[in-house]
Structure 1
């Protein structure tokens, strides 16, 4: 299944949105990797088990389930989470890309590519639609949390 959507961060025509800088947004995405407990419901703890120049490998503990992922950074542009399929997790990738389509405009593009089928063997897509809705809500929550952290000065 593939699912993609945008979340508007800044719109110069919408003064009701609290403005974030691209750097604050980037720092929020980096923090989501380093301290995912702030962002991911149900996550008991996370540990970074490997670091490279542009990536980290983590173990995420959800009760007895442990998910290993690799997070790859393209500095100030995108973060990509890569997870292998397991009995507890469908596996796939999540890419969060910062976009600046015009002066003062700032967007965050989320792209999910999973091993889960978009429709089941009977041709029903309802389960996939529920998953997409959950992804969308989680992404809105991520942006909400980044805004909260920026307001406290934690993101510069």
Structure 2
């Protein structure tokens, strides 16, 4: 299953929305790379196993399951998380890209690629709407945490 959506970060026409700079947004995404615990419910611990340039290999401990993911950073633009297939997880990826179609109009594009079947006759099909909703909520929470980080709140 492939799933993507946009979340608007800035709306210069709406004074009720706190404006983030592109750099604040980028630093928030890097925070998700370096300290994923606040961003991933159920994550008990994480460690960086390797770091080569703009690529990291991390181990994420969710208690009953431990997964590894490879994070690829495109500075100032995007972060890609590739979950390595294992007994605990079938694999998949998430790419988060900063988009700025006009000055001061910032968006985050979340693009998922999963192993869930897209065959309408597949048993997995029943879960797809649930999974999409869960991904969307997780991404809304991600933006909330980035806003908190930009405001100087320490993420635990």
TM-score scaled by length of structure 2: 0.92
Closer, same or farther in 2 for the Cα pair 1:152/1:62, shift >3 Å? Answer: same
Mind listing any 5+ residue stretches in structure 2 that lack a counterpart?
none
Structure 1 CA distance for aligned equivalents of residues 49 and 25 of structure 2: 25
The Cα shift of 1:84 comes to 2.2
1:47 is paired with a residue of what secondary structure? Answer: strand
Aligned length: 154
What pairs up with 1:123-134 in 2 under 5 angstroms? 125-134=125-134
In structure 2, how many angstroms separate the alpha carbons of the residues matched to 1:118 and 1:151? Answer: 40
Post-superposition offset of 1:42: 0.1
Query: Is the deviation greater in 3-12 or in 88-97?
Result: 88-97
Superposition RMSD in Å: 1.6
Q: 1:64: Cα distance to partner?
A: 2.8
Other-structure match for 1:93:
93
TM-score, normalised via structure 1 length: 0.92
Structure 1: gaps of 5 or more residues: none
After TM superposition, the structure 1 = structure 2 runs for residues 78-117 of structure 1, keeping only pairs within 5 Å, are 78-117=78-117
Residue 9 (structure 2) aligns with: 9
